[in-house]
Amino acid sequence: MSDGECPACQGRWPAAEYRIVELAQTVVALHDDQAFRGWTLLVLKRHATELFHLTRDERAALIEEVSAVARAVADALGAIKVNYALLGNQVAHVHWHVVPRLAADPAPREPAWMLPHAPRRPDAAETRALVTAIRARLA
């Protein structure tokens, strides 16, 4: 997929209503499936499909942003653990998944994507509350 075909590069993904903040390297947004409440994405601002396509400085800055967002998400939701994933099989653009694991976790020993479930789309009020809570901790 070229950057001209990439939904992240075209600004179509992540959806505007789920966006939390724009950082130096990434756009931070809620995942559109909130089966794991607070599931957050960090989408690289420039097109790259692999970590090795980034310079050393870009990779270092990216991991610092991932860490800061993970702390904000964990604090906002009271997570007891945070999972991280960088896959890119469905959207071939560098993006991190930050998945808070909560006390009421439906599958505490399984990766989030292994839990069979119908996608859970938050309503507008829940989306605003999550975005506000995470954004406040990143300020």
Q: pLDDT by residue (tens digit) across 48-107?
A: 999 999 999 999 999 999 999 999 999 999 999 999 999 999 999 999 999 999 999 988
Could you tell me if 73 and 38 are in contact, meaning their C-beta atoms sit under 8 angstroms apart? Answer: yes
- Domain assignment present for residue 6? The answer is no
- Domain assignment present for residue 97? The answer is yes
Q: What percent of the chain has pLDDT over 90?
A: 83
**Average model confidence (pLDDT) for the chain?**
94
- Domain assignment present for residue 134? The answer is yes
User: CB-side exposure of 110: number of CA atoms within 13 Å?
Assistant: 9
Our count of domains for the chain comes to: 1
The whole-number pLDDT of residue 36 equals 93
The whole-number pLDDT of residue 118 equals 87
CATH number, domain with residue 48: 3.30.428.10
> Is the pLDDT confidence value at 21 over 90?
yes
- Domain assignment present for residue 69? The answer is yes
- Domain assignment present for residue 8? The answer is no
Whose tokens are 């009271």? That residue is: 78
Q: Whole-structure pTM over 0.75, yes or no?
A: yes
The end-to-end CA distance of the chain, in Å, is 34
Residue 62's domain comprises 16-102+119-138
Rg (Cα) of the chain, in Å, rounded? 14
- Domain assignment present for residue 39? The answer is yes
